[in-house]
Amino acid sequence: MHIGEVIRNAVAFDFKNSGGEIMNADSLPGTVERFFRLLHGRGIDYLLVGGIAMLGYVEGRNTEDIDVILAASDLENLPEVSVEERDTNFARGAFEGLRVDMLLTANPLFAEVRRNHATNVRFVEREVPCATVEGLLLLKLYALPSLYRSGDFARVGIYENDVAVLMEAYEPEMAPILDGLSGHVSAADLISIRDIVSDVRRRIERFRNGGGDS
């Protein structure tokens, strides 16, 4: 899978983008390669997550940006990335017009995923350190209660679908994942996350039963 081509196509066919963004889409494959070359050249300890990481495991995901976990100190060593928004846990910026979302390791869960849930995935551009299935599930489930509270229905749908396709395709053991979240979310959020996982399991059963009752 070619990361740059995925992002180029997502930008080019998203009619919400401006004409300038769509016209510049053809330059994105080269920009993506330069971005990863920059990370490797600076010795940045990063982990690919988000939609591109999902495409390392399942088909059909669409995304216009790169999502990585890294340390805030490493971000300081990337002046080429213009940071537009930043707080303790997240930063959003751009590299030569490429959108980059950064999850910062000041958040203990993000640090744990980078440390304990990493593997190498071969893309066309290069081999890239990428979150495992379990790491992606930890991040998606961690984010969902906040997305519900903010009323972000579109992203709730995307994240729940990501969880569903990973659970259906890989059948990961969910108990350790839920246990791993327990130290990073409130008791109320953990109940919500368990309910989401239960709902997803029922969806998978319906799918495997051809849409009939389980």
What span, in angstroms and rounded, lies between the C-alpha atoms of 214 and 209? 7
What angle is formed at CA 68 by the lines to CA 8 and CA 143, rounded to 5 degrees?
105
What span, in angstroms and rounded, lies between the C-alpha atoms of 141 and 117? 15
The pLDDT tens digits of the residues spanning 139-189 come to 999 999 999 999 999 999 999 999 999 999 999 999 999 999 999 999 999
What span, in angstroms and rounded, lies between the C-alpha atoms of 172 and 117? 13
In terms of DSSP H, where are the helices of the chain?
A: 3-12, 19-23, 28-41, 50-55, 72-76, 108-116, 133-150, 153-170, 174-181, 187-208
What angle is formed at CA 184 by the lines to CA 164 and CA 78, rounded to 5 degrees?
85
Please give the DSSP secondary-structure letter assigned to residue 26. Answer: G
Show the tokens assigned to 50.
Answer: 């988000």
Closest of 50, 150, 148 to residue 103, by C-alpha: 50
Exposure pattern of 93-117 as b/e (b: 16+ CB <10 Å)? Answer: bebbebbbbbbbbebebbebbbeeb
* pTM summary value: 0.89
Are 196 and 166 contacting, i.e. CB atoms less than 8 angstroms apart?
no
Q: Which domains does the chain have, with CATH numbers?
A: 3-131 (3.30.460.40), 135-208 (no CATH)
Show the tokens assigned to 105.
Answer: 């390791």
pLDDT tens sequence for the chain (214 residues): 667 576 666 655 555 555 445 446 667 778 888 999 999 999 999 999 998 899 888 876 667 789 999 999 999 999 999 999 999 999 999 999 889 999 999 999 999 999 999 999 887 667 889 999 999 999 999 999 999 999 999 999 999 999 999 999 999 999 999 999 999 999 999 999 999 999 999 999 999 998 766 4
